[in-house]
Amino acid sequence: MVMRAWMFQTTDGWVAAACSDAGLTNLTFPEENESVCARLLVDILDQNGCVNHPPQPGDDMEHLETALNEYFSGYRKTLDFAVDWSIYTPFQRDVLKVVREIPYGTLLTYGQVAAIAGYPRAARAAGGALRANRVPLVIPCHRVVQRDGSPGGFGGRPWIKIRLLALEGLKPGSAGRYVFNANA
C-alpha cells in the first residue's frame, strides 16, 4: 500500500495531510508558520514511510484543500473524506465513528459519545480514543466536551477547540462552559 503525504496552505494556515489507498491517515490543525508545518510533515513521512506526493487530478484527496478553505470560511459544514480506519484499535474506531457523525454546531459529552458507541461506562477511555484521532476536522473531536460543559484539554491546545467551536457558532457562557444537548 502506498502512503503519501503533502502540505498546503489554507485560509487558516499551513496544513499537512497523509493518506493511504484506504483514506486519510493524518491531518494537522492549521499552523501559522510554514516551517512548523514542514516539521510536522517530516514527522508524518517518517512515521508512516510515506512519499511526499500531493494529490493528482482525479485523486480522492484532490479537493481536501478546497474543502478545508470552505470549512474555515464558514461555507462547508462537513468534510466527507475517506478515513483509513485500520490505523485505530476496534474501540478507537467505535468511538471515532460516533464522533464523525456529530453534526456541525452540535456538542456531545465524552460520556454521551461512549454510550452511543456501546460503552456506557467508558467516558475516560473515549477521551483516550479522541486523543488518538489523527484526522481532526474530518473526525470532529472538537465537538466533544466534558460533562460540565468545559472544553477539556484538547491535547494542551484548548484555544484551537474554542476557535473551531466559535467558527461553528458555539460560544461558551460566562463561566467558560458550553451548553450541550443533554438528550442526545
The residue annotated as part of the active site, out of 19, 37, 50, 141, is 141
Domain ranges across the chain: 4-72, 88-167
At 2, is the pLDDT very low, low, confident or very high (cuts 50, 70, 90)? low
141 is catalytic: yes
Q: Give the predicted TM-score (pTM) of the model.
A: 0.91
How many residues in the chain? Answer: 184
| CA-based end-to-end distance of the chain | 39
Quickly name the fold that domain 88-167 has.
Arc Repressor Mutant, subunit A (1.10.10)
How does pLDDT run across 112-160, given as a tens digit for each residue? 999 999 999 999 999 999 999 999 999 999 999 999 999 988 888 888 9
Q: Which residues of 73-103 are buried (b: 16+ CB within 10 A; e: fewer)?
A: eeeeeebebebbeebbeebbbbbbebbbebe
Give the position of cell 460566562: 174
183 φ/ψ angles, rounded to the nearest 5 degrees: -95, 0
